[in-house]
Chains A and B, each alone.
Chain A
Amino acid sequence: MKQELVNVLTGNSFAVSDAQGDMTPDPLAPIGLFSFDTRFLSRWVLTIDGKRLKALSRDEMTYFETRFVLVPGAASHYVDADVSVIRHRSIDDSFNERLVVLNHSAEPADYTVRMEIASDFADTAEIKKPRERRIVAVPMPAEGQLRLFYQRERFARETVVSSTAPVEVDPGGMTFRIRVPPNGSWTTDLHIGMIMRGAGARDLRSSLEAHREQIRRDMREDLRRWHERAPKLVAEHDGLRAAYEGSLDDLAALRYTPLSIRGKLPVGGLPWAMALYGRDAMITCLETLPFTPELAPPTLRLLALGQGGRLDDHREEEPGKIVAEYRYGENAVFGESPTYLHYSAADTTPLFVILLDEYERWSGDADLVRELRHPARMALDWIDEYGDILGDGYVRYQRRNTRTGLENQCWKNSPGAIVDAEGRAPAPPRATCEVQGYAYDAKRRGARLAREFWDDPAYADRLEREAAELKARFNRDFWLPHRDYYALALGPDGEPVDALASNMGHLLWSGIVDEKRAEAVAQHLLGPRLFSGWGVRTLADGQRAYNPVGAHLGSVWPSDNAIIAAGLRRYGCDEAAAQVAAGIFDVVQMLGNPVPEVIAGYHRDLTRFPVQLPHAGRPQSWSSGALLMLLGTVLGLSPCGESLLVNPALPKGAGRIELLDIPGRWGHADAYGRDRAPGDRGPRPRLR
């Protein structure tokens, strides 16, 4: 059976080891120490007198700190060691490991403690098969240092391992020959610096103001304050409270400080997405506005800064387009894997406008709306100029980079994700339905921003007119009258792609659905083909391509379900929304934190337990955010002028839920909800 993996992380830096704290390369998992998409340690193995160690206990104290208690020898033997080792590691902008060797005998003892050290400087994109690199290892015994260095042209990365205790250093590691007094201890602190070479062989980050100012040491204090700023959840079920606090922890862990601006924003998640993904980051912000609104401004600012400025086929860049992915690894910057900065996404640009508007509705931060007027305007212009590529009023995508560009540029971005009921993929360019919903919503919200903040009522009128036309056109062209649901997509000639899929739940969230059709959509979403009992499947059972373990062809994504539940409530389908929320709450309580990225689409009655998929990441920011959004949805939180509207519709059996000190333009407000006992008239909306 595969060994359990242990990680410490912060933002885009993370270390993954085995249960003993050792790291050795594995083609199936990113094991080692990583930062900015580069592996800085691929081998980190501790021995005493030539023996590997076995963990007696492990304390995962916070997301950035773990302590192992270890003894020499193989597993499963009766342990009567007279020596033990405490291995205490933490990660901030560097990796730190304190080794404490304890002699439990009444005699002084001599030990040879050895740490094997190597780096392959692999890019996170090539963990399966890292290329051969020429690594230079420079032992510097006088300084107690081992330096590992890699250079390609001017691109240079360096790992510097230093010890506070005297040490013998060789190119493959560090050796400590120590004598420990009776019942005494010996300690060394190992520090691993991860250097991205910039001007004059200094770290490139050291000359960038924003980054330097952001580096902070006291992460415990930071985590305490993060929790303090978030609302308090009081729930009858302890499991829900634990899941909430755990999700806040995971969101804290996944914040990273970019090179160019102040503030922290969410990366995608462990292990494969420890970088900025525009879609994941914006969805996470939308999910968490009532809880951790501080994520939104840096996300919007950084995405504005990276907004497309030129036409570029390789990056799929167009003026005004919002970034799909930022990477700093070697393959990315040399253009060998999906590139350093790419724009293979049709939905990020409307989502940018949606997030800006929604953030203002919660926070009242009009200054940010004025500050970002130009990028928001460019994003709105993009919809018509570069999104609507056939001139028929729909945002479509077709990759121009046929080597590393994505075939599907919506959230379901795996190659075979967009197919019809018979499993046939439409020809490009494709217009998926949810992207039209986002475009509609972006225009409506852009109109509000133009009218209220940009002093441009004529532009607001135009956007509103265009939105209304889009809604009418969409309801004519995407609706499948014989099936009573919306097509998943349109092909190049406007032919509908008739698969039954979760995407239409997003349409409810965007408000593009005709009122009279909402009930039918809700019935499909909660019907036996789409609803697994845990959540809404990405693709319905019975479709030719349905596969309960396929990423976008039948599995269940908490992030998808959070948006669907919000959409259901928007159209008054409160019971359906509560049912979706209850399913995901159950998943989280049965699996524990972190909320998985995705679970299998098997029916709940079949497996009784949510089935995890091996490729699913944990934690993932938009999954952790999904739990928060579902809480906000069942409590019915929404800004209404300067007040917070609370309109609870809790799942049956949820008992009483209180969310206290919800931050927003009202200062702080509380929300209370209770599941409806039979015969209740139901709660009335309250303003507070």
Chain B
Amino acid sequence: MTASAADYLACWVGGRHEDLPENVSGTVRLDIRDDGSTDHWFLTIGDQQVGVSRSAEEADLVVAGDREVFDRLVAEGTHIGAALVRNDVTAQGDLRLLMLLRRLFPGPPDARHPREMAVRAVATHRTSESHGGERQ
């Protein structure tokens, strides 16, 4: 079972993120709509730290969308930028912060390290080479 966006935001997003540039800071509010009600998640980004709270305060960037869209961002590793261009989420304010959300949400669960594929390809290559040799 995969985490919902709310679980993920509550448990995994806060804290230190070394993959965030140290000189980028700002606030992001995620407005997650569900059956007429809206949950507001407020992220404070600065100095490679992310703080998470529940607040409807004004933020530098406000990203709004349905709960299923945010849940999919977490479960499937959808790119937040693609979600914006599809209009699955809307964004108002400083779009530079939107791209950083890519690093706060997880990637696709089935993604591979390129080394994994490369090592397998080399093994296959060697097998076929040696079979080629036998045939000769």
Contact = CB atoms under 8 A, between A and B. Distances in A.
A259 B95 contact: yes
A328 B85 contact: yes
Interface stretch (B2-10, B36-44, B51-59, B102-110): B102-110
Contact of B96 (A260, A386, A400): A260
Interface string A291-314: 000000000000011100111111
Given A153-B88, A207-B91, A374-B22, A396 B118 contact: yes
Contact-residue size bin, chain A (C-beta under 8 Å from the other chain): 35 or more
Interface string B1-39: 000000000000000000111110000000000000000
Contacts of B122: 390, 429, 492-493
Contact of B77 (A310, A370, A390, A428): A310
Interface in B42-68: 64
Interface string B76-90: 010101101111101
Contact-residue size bin, chain B (C-beta under 8 Å from the other chain): 35 or more
A209 B94 contact: yes
A210 B102 CA distance: 20
B99 A306 contact: yes
A328 B93 CA distance: 19
Nearest to B90: A199
A312 B107 contact: yes
B99 A305 contact: yes
A155 interface: yes
Contact of A208 (B88, B91, B117): B91
Given A209-B94, A492-B121, A204 B82 contact: no
A434 to B, nearest CB: 19
A429 B118 contact: yes
A153 B125 contact: no
Contact of B93 (A209, A306, A389, A428): A209
Contacts of A391: 115
B112 interface: yes
Contacts of B99: 260, 305-306
Contact of A318 (B20, B23, B96, B114): B114
A204 B84 contact: yes
A653 B43 CA distance: 64
A208 B95 contact: yes
Interface stretch (A71-79, A334-342, A641-649): A334-342
Given A305-B96, A428-B121, A429-B118, A312 B126 contact: no
A474 to B, nearest CB: 19
Contacts of A311: 107-108, 111-113
A235 to B, nearest CB: 42
A313 B79 CA distance: 12
A682 B135 CA distance: 63
A312 B114 contact: no
Contact of B125 (A210, A318, A386, A492): A492
B102 A310 contact: yes
A386 B19 contact: no
A199 B21 contact: no
Given A198-B90, A261-B96, A400-B117, A319 B85 contact: no
A333 B111 contact: no
Nearest to B84: A204
B19 A427 contact: no
A210 B99 CA distance: 14
Contact of A400 (B79, B114, B125): B114
B83 to A, nearest CB: 9
B86 A333 contact: yes
Contacts of B112: 311, 313, 400
A30 to B, nearest CB: 20
Given A312-B77, A389-B115, A398 B121 contact: yes
A319 B20 CA distance: 11
A455 to B, nearest CB: 13
Nearest to B121: A428
A412 B96 CA distance: 31
A238 interface: no
Contacts of A209: 93-95
A40 B57 CA distance: 38
A12 B92 CA distance: 22
Contact of B81 (A210, A335, A340): A340
A311 B60 CA distance: 27
Interface in A323-353: 328, 332-335, 339-341
B14 to A, nearest CB: 17
A198 B87 contact: yes
A154 B125 contact: no
B30 to A, nearest CB: 14
Nearest to B108: A312
A611 interface: no
Contact of B98 (A156, A260, A319, A390): A260
A375 B91 CA distance: 24
Interface of B: 19-23, 64, 77, 79, 81-82, 84-88, 90-96, 98-99, 102-103, 106-108, 110-115, 117-119, 121-122, 125-126, 129
The 3 closest A-B pairs by CB, nearest first: A310-B107, A199-B90, A260-B95
Given A197-B87, A318-B113, A333-B85, 11 more contacts: A156-B87, A196-B85, A210-B94, A260-B99, A309-B103, A313-B108, A340-B85, A374-B20, A386-B114, A390-B118, A400-B117
11 contacts: A154-B86, A196-B85, A259-B95, A309-B107, A310-B102, A312-B111, A378-B19, A386-B115, A389-B118, A390-B122, A491-B125
